[in-house]
Amino acid sequence: MIYLDNSATTKPHKDVLATFMLVNEQYYANPASIHRAGVESNALLTKAREQLANILHTDEKNILFTSGGTESNNAALFGIAKSSNFRGKHIITTEIEHPSILEAVKRLEEEGYEIDYLKVNKYGVISLEELQQKLRKDTIIVSIMHVNNEIGAVQPIKEAAQIIHRTCQAMFHVDAIQSFGKLPVFFNGDNGPDVISISGHKIQGLKGSGLLAFRKKPQLKAFIVGGGQEFGLRSGTVAVPQAVSLAKAARLAVEGMPGNFENFKKWSADLHHFFEQFGQEVYVLSPKDGAPHIISFSVRGLKGEILINALQKRDIIVSTSSACSSKQTKTSHVVEALNIDSRFKNGVLRLSLGAINTDEDIASFKKQFTIVMKELKGEIMQ
């Protein structure tokens, strides 16, 4: 099977799996227990937190473990909104965020917060001028994703951070779930984002692992209450094996990033060029200068499911543009925001490349896609 759906989830790295097994076998004690076994688990947990803090250039007290990207994004928005509403209730985000942000701000809107959505251009990129115009004294959160999961558009995070910090006291949250380990994530220094979300299973780590990293001491209301774990912010017995596996996956991802990035760039340029040969029949939504591990395209008039099935029969695994909503039949909000020709709206597919892919995988995809296009010729609407 040729797996080209790495932005939906990745195959866990074998070293991560080995770490997970080892920690489960030897460090299963509750890290909050005061006996020797608990102290040892806690020491391991602290080490994982320190390693992640080092990678992210922050303090270990600023790392909160979560169950994944959705929880991190929800926690950032609900937690910050509820701890900052004495200053205001205005929130800015973009129209192409992941549903774990969009649904959270919808909920906050129902609770009386005011939400402004930044528009994107046809490459899926926000305008910094619009950001500047929308910022207000009572803006408490700005949440902008780094790399869009459906088309790979990259937002100008560094510039946005400078504008936000220069203009108001809003906390700048960045969903770095599709960028961490793939592109350098600008997080250090006073002019960076205040808080970022990371998910373990997107970086060859485990499902059920993730984190929120703060630049300074976390300023947010507890989002899970109970026994007061995770500095009183997220109660519940800490999943030490997931935390340690996340530290391992993050280290491997960052170490492998330069080599992987070169491969992604090469494959992305190759695929852009390949799709151009289909002329008016194929439209590539991903910008050429976007994140190279995501290439979204659409075949004119063809339903995405038809293409997915035809490729699957030939052992090529790809998704619709967003695997999270791939079972939904309506056009994705990201595709709608790009305002593309309606004949291309129903068939957007996403190739998402990962560390496990090879030159041969890309060559096989191109070969099989060419055959499938010939087979489906009759179904492609003119």
Ligand X SMILES: Cc1ncc(COP(=O)(O)O)c(C=O)c1O
Task: For the CB of residue 351, give the shortest distance to ligand X in the complex, in Å.
Answer: 15
Rounded distance, CA 74 to CA 330, Å?
A: 24
Task: For the CB of residue 240, give the shortest distance to ligand X in the complex, in Å.
Answer: 19
Tell me whether residue 168 or residue 356 sits nearer to ligand X (CB atom).
356
Tell me whether residue 196 or residue 310 sits nearer to ligand X (CB atom).
196
Rounded distance, CA 319 to CA 337, Å?
A: 19
Task: For the CB of residue 246, give the shortest distance to ligand X in the complex, in Å.
Answer: 11
Tell me whether residue 317 or residue 376 sits nearer to ligand X (CB atom).
317
Instruction: Report DSSP letters for 161-183, one per residue.
Output: HHHHHHH---EEEEE-TTTBTTB
Structure tokens belonging to residue 82: 């509820």
Rounded distance, CA 9 to CA 208, Å?
A: 12
Quick count: other Cβ atoms within 10 Å of Cβ 111?
A: 11
Rounded distance, CA 27 to CA 12, Å?
A: 21
Task: For the CB of residue 198, give the shortest distance to ligand X in the complex, in Å.
Answer: 9
Binding residues for ligand X, rule: CB under 6 A, are 68-70, 73, 98, 100, 145, 149, 175, 177-178, 199, 201, 210, 324
Sign of CA dihedral 75, 99, 150, 13: positive
CB 53 within 8 A of CB 44: no
Tell me whether residue 178 or residue 268 sits nearer to ligand X (CB atom).
178
For 340, list phi and psi in degrees, rounded to 5. Answer: -85, 165
**Of 135, 324, 337, 349, catalytic:** 324
Please indicate whether residue 168 is annotated as part of the active site: no
Tell me whether residue 199 or residue 260 sits nearer to ligand X (CB atom).
199
Task: For the CB of residue 255, give the shortest distance to ligand X in the complex, in Å.
Answer: 22
Q: Which residue is nearest to ligand X (CB)?
A: 69
Short-list 118, 172, 170, CA closest to 140: 170
CB 124 within 8 A of CB 337: yes
**Catalytically annotated residues:** 324
